[in-house]
Chain A
Amino acid sequence: MLREGQIRIPSGCAISGIMNKKGRVFGGGDIINSIAVMHDRSNGLGGGFAAYGIYPEFKEEYAFHFFFDHTTIKNEIEALLKKNFIIASGEAIPIRKSKSIKDAPLIWRYFVRPKHRVLVKQEVDEEEFVVRFVMRVNSEIDGAYIFSSGKNMGAFKGVGYPEDIGEFYRLEEYSGYLWTAHGRFPTNTPGWWGGAHPFTLLDCSVVHNGEISSYDANRRQLEMYGYKCVLQTDTEVVAYIFDYLMRRQGLPLDVIVKAMASPFWHEIDRMNKKEKEILRAIRVVYGGFLVNGPFSILIGTNQGMIALNDRIKLRPSIAATKGDYLYVASEEAAIRQVCSKPEHMWMPRGGEPVIGLLEASQPTRVPVRTEQEKIAINS
């Protein structure tokens, strides 16, 4: 049977996200409880979490989470890592053996920084180098898969119900300021750990409920810009769109969400001249990144969380706040489970984003090359 990546598998799902806008950290228990309420929205064939702020001791290193099929490939990858990166630390990710989780691959993490001379040789910045490395491993190397590659964050996922996956990874032992979770209902049984959500690239993680009917239009647009959609999943495409528009194009968040879930033309026609000009330009230029079909997504980054629905809201989502906390989930019950008395609770309309940005100043992206280095490269 073909596994994810060799075939496109539609699936339905549950999603949940919790963040503290002040950047205060809290344990993984809440997010597990929240996603567990929506047990029936998944079918035990995939669950996962993304957690931000969990690796403060290695916050300057990229945290690579790996699935290995066997030790031979692990040794090969370690050699490859050593060639390209300075490895600050490497270890098996602690797990708790349980009856409900079977056939787990070898799961390891490495905290790494690209070697300076490798960057100079390839004439790319640190992030681009990491992106290319991840894409190369995932598309070209059999038996190894990088499922998380951001700084001070990590994805934890596998085949099973999300609450069991949370327990398996001992998430209650981690502390983060932003957590997202996903329970999957694939219409097929590939049983491959890499296929579960979240899907990540650098510090951007995506959990997603829905099926994107614009998939191939989006994919072919992305491939024009060098992305390789190896998994053939909607989530992967959303993550790459986000990465392209945010990191490569440097667009502001509000523009990105307008590109992905743009207002209708009849709405644009009613706007004032300035807005109209911008919205028209966004649709004309970024039409290939319009995400069409039913979806509700949660995107996590080091700067916060964004929830977005398709334009006519064909998938559920609900948001709430209490104090410094922001909650978004597929169902109200998932929020009430962990926050019994929210101060505000609302159903975002189709195409209307919920954007929760961190108020605490966060390490922003540092360009790796200094001016002197640039001169050295150019001369």
Chain B
Amino acid sequence: MSLKSYVTPSFLIERNKERCIKCKVCVQQCANEVHRYDEEDDEIISEEHQCVNCQRCVTLCPTGALTIRKNPNELRQNSNWTAEAVRAIYIQAETGGILLTGMGNDRPYPVYWDNILLNASQVTNPSIDPLREPMELKTHLGRKPDSLSIKEGKLQKKLPPQLELELPIMFSAMSFGSISLNAIKSLAEAAKQEGTYFNTGEGGLHRDLYQYGENTIVQVASGRFGVHADYLQAGAAIEIKIGQGAKPGIGGHLPGEKVEREVSETRMIPEGTDAISPAPHHDIYSIEDLRQLIYSLKEATNYEKPVSVKIAAVHNVAAIASGIARAGADIIAIDGYRGGTGAAPLRIRDNVGIPIEFALAAVDTRLRQEAIRNQVSLVVGGSIRNSADIVKAIALGADAVYIASSALLALGCHMCQKCYTGKCNWGIATQDPQLAKRLNPELGAQRARNLLRAWKHEIQEMLGGMGINAIESLRGNRLMLRGIGLTEKELQILGIKNAGE
């Protein structure tokens, strides 16, 4: 006996009959099979239960006949038992499973970036026009020695390996498996053209991507998928993934359905098997163990590549980061609690971790107190939504940022949060060849490049306004920031003054 579902549709689909020409584009486009053509009645019928509001049909409908709205149907008002809370219980009562979700935390927690304002020059200090004067965003990531020894016009000791970025933005880890090869190709090409890096995530490096090696950060995660000598050699840097902002403390799970031939080859696992990344690295149970892995990877690559360690922003992040720096990492990547994901348990995504703004401020302050800030570069991610967020992050103390959700939005993602279903109608979070080909990697690269360039110009404008012409003069320059609507304690943690002070 099957259970009747008590879950009502989340969205309503309105079809303007006068506009609809019955071209069936919506029927073809919706992988969730919401729209169906009834030949007998010569009518298109929409079965709303499966709709995730990804806006694919709306965007592609040639006559603009479709509108998707939140289902106006309401449960009896209850401030405690909200419709969402009730709905979650119905779903779990029907499935007996963990609630899954995709993308980043969407709860209405404060976004601290929006409570920080930037400075600009007036009179006492001229602003600089980036159209007329050089405005330098070049950024180097990697360990910086305490001092240089220069004798007779010669550098006595070479610098440790550095990643050189033309702008302080990199594409964050997204594995082949969680997103399509076309999506990765788009980002890889954009990174190459704009002089920055993309990150393989824990999915290995597909053979078509080796040509982008110079612009690649190869990740080593707890499942060790796709990790072999050539893979480590192929990248410009290696990143050990300890955690991810969307699901700190837990591993990953790529369902067998997504492990088709190419994914299976790249990850070096049998086709159709689940790819399970354990929650911890089973060879890292302590900071000393991490040190060993860092140095094994450095040994394996002849100390020619910086090694990054990525962690989720959790309560004790400052002390953890200090330990990672001392363990020999060259870069620390911190992912805030709003960071995206291909799939995560809903309750973890929405309740574990801390905001990246606080984590960054705390880590930068701590590393400076311990006088080891120059030993590591700090890269932060976890919902960087625009260029102003980046400027604020750098002024708080970051060297560069990682973007992933923004990058996918540039490729066409519509934030439906259903990445874990494998049915991404935009050809991004899917391995279905029919869906994946909807994303043309050349056009994808163009869109991703445009985003980087647009943000680069905006960052230059903001820097010039502050009277600064090199990004290093913004790094950790917290006097350029003022808080608005923040408590004393929040200001103190961020290390900034209030507006008007």
Measured CB to CB, the residues of A under 8 A from B are 8, 10-12, 187, 210-211, 213-217, 220-221, 223-225, 249, 251-252, 255, 262, 264-266, 274, 277-278, 280-288, 290-294, 311-312, 314
Known: A12-B124, A281-B148, A282-B148. Is A217-B474 also a contact (CB below 8 A)? yes
Which chain B residues lie closer than 8 Å to A281 at the CB level?
148, 155, 159
> From residue B492, how far is it (CB to closest CB) to chain A in Å?
16
Please give 5 more A-B residue pairs, beta carbons under 8 A apart, in addition to A211-B124, A213-B473, A221-B476. A213-B467, A215-B477, A255-B150, A278-B154, A312-B133
Q: Report the bound CA distance from A111 to B382 in whole Å.
A: 58
* A217-B477 CB under 8 A given contacts A284-B144, A312-B128: yes
Min distance, Cβ A165 to any Cβ of chain B, angstroms: 23
Question: How far, in whole Å, are A187 and B126 apart by their CA atoms in the complex?
Answer: 15
Complex-state Cα separation, A274 to B124, whole angstroms: 39
Which residue of chain B has its CB nearest to the CB of A284? B140
Distance, CA A297 to CA B162, complexed state (A): 32
Q: Mark B466-495, 1 if CB is under 8 A from A, else 0.
A: 111110111111111000000000000000
How many residue pairs, one in A and one in B, have C-beta atoms under 8 Å apart? 114
Known: A251-B148, A252-B150, A255-B150. A217 touches B469 (CB 8 A): no
Residues from chain B with Cβ under 8 Å of A284 in the complex: 140, 144, 159, 162
CB distance from B196 to the nearest CB of A (A): 15
B116 to chain A, nearest CB (A): 14
Q: Known A217-B473, A288-B475; judge A249-B147 contact (CB<8 A).
A: yes
Question: How far is it, in angstroms, between the C-alpha of A341 and the C-alpha of B264 when the chains are bound?
Answer: 82
* Interface assignment of B85: CB less than 8 Å from any CB of chain A: no
Nearest CB in chain B to that of A12: its residue: B124
A285 touches B124 (CB 8 A): no
Compute how far the CA of A38 lies from the CA of B126 in the bound complex, rounded to whole angstroms: 21
Given known pairs A11-B124, A251-B150, the reply for A217 and B371 (CB within 8 Å) is no
Please report the C-alpha to C-alpha distance between residue A266 and residue B477 in the assembled complex, in whole angstroms.
Answer: 24
Q: Which of B322-345 contact A (CB under 8 A)?
A: none
Chain B nearest CB: distance from A309 CB in Å? 13
CB distance from A209 to the nearest CB of B (A): 11
Which residues on the A side are within 8 Å of B374 (C-beta)? 224, 285, 288
Alpha-carbon gap, A294 to B144, bound state (A): 27
CB-contacts of B38-93 with A (<8 A): none
With contacts A11-B124, A220-B368 taken as known, whether A278 is within 8 angstroms of B472 at the C-beta atoms is: no
Q: Which 8 A-B pairs have the closest CB atoms?
A: A214-B473, A287-B472, A292-B473, A216-B479, A213-B467, A217-B477, A10-B124, A211-B125
Q: Using CB atoms, name the residue of chain A closest to B145.
A: A285
- Quick check: B125 and A293 within 8 Å, CB to CB? yes
Contacts of B468 in A (CB 8 A): 213-214, 292-293
Query: Chain B's nearest CB lies how many Å from the CB of A236?
Result: 14
Contacting residues, chain B, for A278 (C-beta < 8 A): 150, 153-155
Which residues of B are found within 8 Å of A292, using beta-carbon distances?
A: 467-470, 473
Q: Is there an interface contact between A217 and B467, defined as CB atoms closer than 8 Å?
A: no
Interface residues on B, range: 35 or more
Whether, in the assembled complex, B138 has its beta carbon less than 8 Å from a beta carbon of chain A, the answer is yes
A10→B468 CA distance, assembly (Å): 16
Q: Dominant SS at the B interface?
A: loop
B residues within 8 A CB of A11? 124
Among B121, B144, B148, B368, the residue within 8 A (CB) of A223 is B368
Supply 8 A–B pairs (Cβ within 8 Å), ascending by A: A217-B476, A252-B150, A278-B150, A287-B472, A287-B475, A288-B472, A290-B473, A312-B128
Contact (Cβ within 8 A) A220 B478? yes
Q: Which residue of chain B has the shortest Cβ distance to A245 in the bound complex?
A: B147
* Chain B residues in 8 Å Cβ range of A217: 472-477
Residues of chain B contacted by A224 (CB below 8 angstroms): 368, 371, 373-374
Chain A minimum-CB-distance residue to B368: A224
Q: Are A187 and B124 in contact (CB-based, < 8 A)?
A: yes
**Which interface residue of A223, A225, A293, A311 has the most chain B CB atoms within 10 A?**
A293
For B159, list chain A residues within 8 Å (CB).
280-281, 284-285
Are A10 and B125 closer than 8 Å at their CB atoms? Answer: yes
B270 at the interface (CB under 8 A from A): no
Q: How far is the CA of A291 from the CA of B136 in the complex (A)?
A: 14
Report the bound CA distance from A90 to B153 in whole Å: 45
Q: How far is the CB of A181 from chain B (nearest CB, A)?
A: 21
Q: Is the CB of B466 within 8 A of A213?
A: yes
Q: Is the CB of B136 within 8 A of A264?
A: yes
Measured CB to CB, the nearest residue on chain B to A275 is: B153
Shortest CB-to-CB span from B471 to chain A, Å, is: 9
Within 8 A of A (CB), among B118-145: 121, 124-126, 128, 133-134, 136, 138, 140, 144-145
A287 to B139, CA, bound (A): 10
Which chain B positions have C-beta within 8 A of A10? 124-125
Q: Are the CB atoms of A213 and B133 closer together than 8 Å? A: no
| Nearest chain A CB to B288 CB, angstrom units | 26
Selected from B138, B140, B478, the residue in CB contact (under 8 A) with A216 is B478
Among the listed B133, B155, B373, B467, which residue makes an inter-chain contact with A277, where contact means beta carbons less than 8 Å apart? B155
Q: Which residues of A contact B368 (CB under 8 A)?
A: 220, 223-224
Contact between A8 and B479 (Cβ–Cβ < 8 Å)? yes
User: Considering the chains assembled together, what is the distance between the CA atoms of A280 and B159 in angstroms?
Assistant: 9
Chain A contacts for B128, CB-based, 8 A: 312
Question: Considering only CB atoms, which chain B residue lies closest to A186 in the complex?
Answer: B124
With a cutoff of 8 Å between Cβ atoms, the chain B residues found around residue A287 in the complex are 470, 472, 475
Q: Hey, which chain A residues are within 8 Å of B148, CB to CB? A: 249, 251, 255, 281-282, 285-286
Q: Is the CB of A213 within 8 A of B124?
A: no
List of A residues within 8 angstroms of B133 by Cβ? 312
How far is B148's CA from A280's CA once the two chains are assembled, in angstroms?
11
Cα separation A284 to B140 with both chains bound (whole Å)? 7
Q: Report Cα–Cα, A359/B206, bound state, in Å.
A: 65
Contact yes or no, A294 B467, CB < 8 A? yes
Contact between chains at A265 and B138 (CB < 8 Å): yes
Contacts of B126 in A (CB 8 A): 294, 314
